[in-house]
Structure 1
Amino acid sequence: MKEKSTGDLSFELMSQPNLDAYLSQNEDCFTNQSAAEFLIVYFQRSGMTKAALARKAGMSEVYLHQVFSGRRNPSRDRLLCLCVCLELSLEETQQLLKEACHAPLYPRNRRDSIITYGVLHRQALAEINEKLFEENEKTLF
C-alpha cells in the first residue's frame, strides 16, 4: 500500500464524517515511536554518558533521566539543547521536534534561523546561545 502524505491524511480527516472510521483506516500511518525512543537511539550513537550530556545541555541528570524514561516531555528549547549537544543533523532535529509535537525550526523566524545555522554548522550550544544573545533573541537556556 502506498504511504499517505500528511496532506492526504489532512484531507481525509477534514472530509471524514466519522472519526472512528478515519482512525481505524489510517492506523498504520500514525507514528508509533515516542520522542524519548528517538532520543535514546541518538544518545546511544553519541557514546556520551548521561552525566556528560546533562552537563553539556545545561540540565540536571535527574531531569534528563525523566526525559529518557518518557516521564517528562522537554520543552522545544530543552529538546533543541539536546539535539545540539548530541550533534544531530538538521533532518534528525526536525524529525525529533515533530515526534515531540513541537514546531519545526522555521527559516522565516529570525531566532530559528540562528539555531538552524548552529545545527547545520555543528556549533556548540554556548556558541548558539551567544549569537542568540547578541541578536537580542531568547537563548535556549
Structure 2
Amino acid sequence: MDLLVQSAFMLMESHKRQYREIARLKELEQKAASADEAVACLDRLREDAKALQQRADEAVAARDDALAKLEERKRGLEETQKALEAERRKNEEAVRAKAEAEAAVVRAADEAVEKFLAEGWKADERLPWCYGVVAARLESWGMNSPAGQEYFSREMAV
C-alpha cells in the first residue's frame, strides 16, 4: 500500500507538472498570439506612417506649387502696376499738355482782343475776325457763365 500511495502521489505530482506545463504553454501561446498581434499592429503602423509621409510629401509639393503660382501672379501684378503707373504718368502729361495748350489759346485770344480793341473798329473786313475771337473767348469761359455774358455784352456794346 505504501507503494501504491507513493505511486499515486508521484502520479499526482506528474499530473500537476503536466497541468503547470500545459498552463505555461497556454500562456506562451497567448503571449505568442499577442506578439503576432503586436507585429501585425506594427506593420499597420508602418503602412500608416508611409501613407502619412506620402500625403505630407504631396501637401508640401502642392504648397510649393501654390507658392510658385503666387510668386508668378505677384510678378504679373507688379508688371501691371508698373504699366498702370506709366499710363497714369502719360495721361497726366497729356492733361498737362492740353491745359497748357488751352491756356495758350486763351492768352492768344486775350491778346488778339486787346489788340483789336486798342486799334478800334477801323475796318469792316476785321469784323468777322473779331466775332471769331470773341466766340473763342466765350467758349473758353463758357457761353452761359457770368464772365462770358459780361464780356459779350461789353464787346458788343462798343
TM-score range, shorter chain: under 0.3
Q: What's the TM-score once normalised by structure 2's chain length?
A: 0.22
Higher helix share: 2
Q: Identify the structure with bigger relative contact order (alpha carbons < 8 Å, sequence gap 6+).
A: 1
